[in-house]
Structure 1
Amino acid sequence: MTLYDHSSEDIITRQEAFEQLVKERLQYAVRIAFINVLEEEVTAFIGAKPYERSQHRRDQRNGHYSRHLDTTVGEIADVPVPRTRGGYHTQLFERYHRRRDELDGAMQDMFIKGVSMAQVGEIIETLTGLHPSASTVSRVFHTLQEEYEQWKARPLAQRYAYAFADGTYFTVIYQSEGCKMPILAVVGIAITGEREVLAFRVGDRENQQAWEDLMEDLKARGVKEIGLWISDGNRAMLNAITKHFPTAQRQRCVLHKMENVLSYVPSKQREQLELELKALFSQESRQQADQAVAAFLEKYQKVYPTAVECLQRDLEACLTFYAFPKTHWKTIRTNNVSERLFGEVKRRSHKMAAAFRNEGSCLLLFYAVIRGLTFHKLTMPPASQAQPDLVLLHST
């Protein structure tokens, strides 16, 4: 047997012992760092070191009390926190907050990204030796509520170049039964190109008052003008937009329109017709688009009269995007901006494999997901090169 001939079990035991030693040393170092910071902090607060006579003294020490603090290296036990007669409170951690902020943040991020509450607890236990319960993870997640309330009330810009409006559904428990709950949302693109979710709320997509409430919220927070609204053909939504933003132009989502048109065409003929419909919205100019439309109508007027009637019903709104910068056409001719947003939230909610317990939980998760999204900035042309509508938005 050689000097280095050790069994695998022996190697594993030594490795575990080494890791435990490193962990203990880290915890000891963190504890000493906390003590030093606390002592420096209370000295600055009082204006004098222990037993030091000073004319600048503002308070007197009054012993210590012990705190246990959960950190990313495990629990730090019996940290002596200084007291003073005047009621000093350390800024190192919140008065009743036993867990370091970065640990709470890690639990929030894991849950938001789709890790179950039970799995979050297991991961935290692996990293720190502590095992937060599912209810603890839930409470940590719901600390976002105050941030969400502030976000809902934040002021908005006066003008946006584009706004995308749409709605979707999530399953929520009402009186012990899972029901579809609608959420209405508006995404805006500022005149500088930044993209953000402006607002979202509960409301029936077919209810005009729900859409009006959403529009009124935007105006109450400072929005005065929208250059172009992009949406589907929902009449309740369109009526609310027209009422509150009467000067805004409207772009009908061409994907939704094509789906509506093709629903009147036999399934065997849809593939070819879909290619020709797409071509109407992929021309190099509005003039060429008008020529393509005229040829399409003439070709199919007698073959698919109902489909053609559907296309003509709000055709002008489908072609509005041609009046805006060409580099924006791909973004503004469909409502994919809203669809992708809803997709991100649903991808997270589907991992829960359960309905939301109430509306509040659903709305809070919606906010938690969008706050972590990164939106691409839309390159805006200089005012001198922009179409009239964008020039107006830049100058007013």
Structure 2
Amino acid sequence: MTRPENDPTVMDCVLELLTENGFDGMANCMEILMNEAMRQERSAFIGAGPYQRSESRHGYANGFKPKKMDTRAGRIDLKIPQVRGLDEEDERFYPKSLTQGPRGERALTLAVAEAYVQGVSTRKVAAITQKLCGLDITSTQVSRAAALLDEELDTWRNRAIGETRYLTVDAKYVKVRHSGSVIDVAVLIAIGVMANGKRSILGVSVALSEAETHWRDFFESLQKRGLHGVELISSDKHSGLIAAIAARFPTVPWQRCQFHLQQNAQAHVPKIAMKEPVVRSIRAIFNAKNRANAEKLLKDTVTEYEKDAPDLAT
């Protein structure tokens, strides 16, 4: 079907709105463009436009489903195209333009949730959002956004792990509000290198301290999620952590992580001017191409500093 010459195009409508209303017409422009993009996407998915015949047709247009969306330009009314006549094994249709478009709004939702988690009241978050973005977000929506963040985190925390060749663990102390007081807690972190060489944060857990019992519980939770095949564990030399590693991974070799080894080594450097050369020497050992080269560099470094920094050399 050919469009009559006097039939206005989508861009004609958009330009007319902008000409008449300026920036006040942005929401309507966005609405028109989004709806047209989704219609075109459905035609591409089906393999035929409206009223067109095609042997390669993939389903049939089945009207539209209304949806309201809050954007930074204002609230818009979307008409989400529907598709019928697909086989069970066929991919379902959902406009990518709709999932890609609201990234800013999804980011805003996460920011709202993060502000709430950090202790900003729901009413203040709603007021700030209205001031900055022109979006009317109620305190209930803020709480719901925080709940969605919790759901995302729970899903990530409980995901399956699988075979992990190398495991690095550490803790970071942060301040949290607990029972009306601010206290220091330990955030236990585990990072793994998978069989395919990719690195991933396997899990985090908030504990009162780095006591053995907390590390042991953390390791047990990782193993219940499928952690196995560990060939080497690296960490600092905290006594509670070392005891927990021995209890949960009794046959896995352990070594002090490079960062902590380097930091501890600098404590044995007697002169400030020597610190930078020592760091370069240690990094060269860590980055050696093979074991033989690393052992040679280590021997040379010991020889170089055994007179001026005997504690470091030993």
Q: Which runs of 5+ in 1 are unaligned?
A: 1-13, 32-66, 78-100, 310-396
Give the Cα separation in 2 of the matches to 1:136 and 1:195.
Answer: 35
TM-score relative to the length of structure 1: 0.49
Q: Does residue 216 of structure 2 align to residue 212 of structure 1?
A: yes
Q: 1:190 deviation in Å?
A: 1.6
Contact kept, 8 Å, 2:161 with 2:227, in 1: the verdict is yes
> Contact 1:121/1:134 (CA < 8 Å) preserved in 2?
no
Corresponding residue for residue 131 of structure 2: 122
Instruction: Please list the CA deviations of residues 214-248 of structure 1 after superposition, one character each: whole Å capped at 9, or x if unmatched.
Output: 11001111222212223222232222223222332
How many angstroms does 1:213 deviate by? 0.6
Residue 305 of structure 1: how far off its partner (Å) = 3.4
Distance in 1 separating the partners of 2:68 and 2:297: 70
Aligned residue for 2:147?
142
Note closer, same or farther for the CA distance 1:274–1:182 as it changes in structure 2 (3 Å cut).
same
Describe the shift of the 1:181–1:120 C-alpha distance in structure 2 as closer, same or farther (beyond 3 A).
Answer: farther
Deviations 1:53-76 (A, max 9, x none): xxxxxxxxxxxxxx9955336346
CA offsets 1:252-297 (integer angstroms, 9 cap, x no match): 2223212111112222432333333333323332123223323333
CA distance in 1, matches of 2:224, 2:247: 15
Q: 2:113·2:143 contact (CA, 8 Å) conserved in 1? A: no
Distance 1:292 1:22 in 2: 65
State the 1:123 CA deviation.
4.0
Q: Which amino acid is 1:108 matched to?
A: T
Shift of 1:212: 0.6
SS in 2 for 1:229: strand
Q: Hey, what does 1:74 align to over in structure 2?
A: 74
Q: What does residue 106 of structure 2 align with?
A: 105
Partner of 2:59: none
Which secondary structure state, in structure 2, belongs to the residue aligned with residue 184 of structure 1? strand
2:189 is paired with a residue whose SS is strand
CA contact under 8 A between 1:120 and 1:137: conserved in structure 2?
no
Mapped contact 1:160–1:225 kept (Cα < 8 A): yes
Residues 121 and 133 of structure 1 are in contact (CA less than 8 Å); yes or no, is this contact kept in structure 2? Answer: no
Name the CA shift for 1:17/1:241 in 2 (closer, same or farther; >3 Å): same
Higher relative contact order, structure no. (Cα contacts within 8 Å, ≥ 6 residues apart): 1
Letter in 2 for 1:285: N
Distance 1:292 1:123, change over 3 A: same
Q: Deviations over 1:180-221 (max 9, x none)?
A: 221001122221233322111012553111111111001111
Residue 246 (structure 2) pairs with residue 246 (structure 1): no
**Closer, same or farther in 2 for the Cα pair 1:178/1:294, shift >3 Å?**
same
**Secondary structure, counterpart of 2:231 in structure 1:** strand
Report Cα offsets for 1:344-391 as digits up to 9, x if no partner.
xxxxxxxxxxxxxxxxxxxxxxxxxxxxxxxxxxxxxxxxxxxxxxxx
Structure 1 equivalent of residue 277 of structure 2: 272
SS of match in other structure, 1:226: coil
User: Quick one: structure 1 residues 145 and 114, their matched pair in 2 at CA, closer, same or farther if it must change by over 3 Å?
Assistant: closer
Per the alignment, do residues 271 and 197 of structure 1 end up closer, same or farther by CA in structure 2, a change over 3 Å counting? Answer: closer
Query: How far apart in 2 are the matches of 1:29 and 1:278?
Result: 55
TM-score with structure 2 length normalisation? 0.61
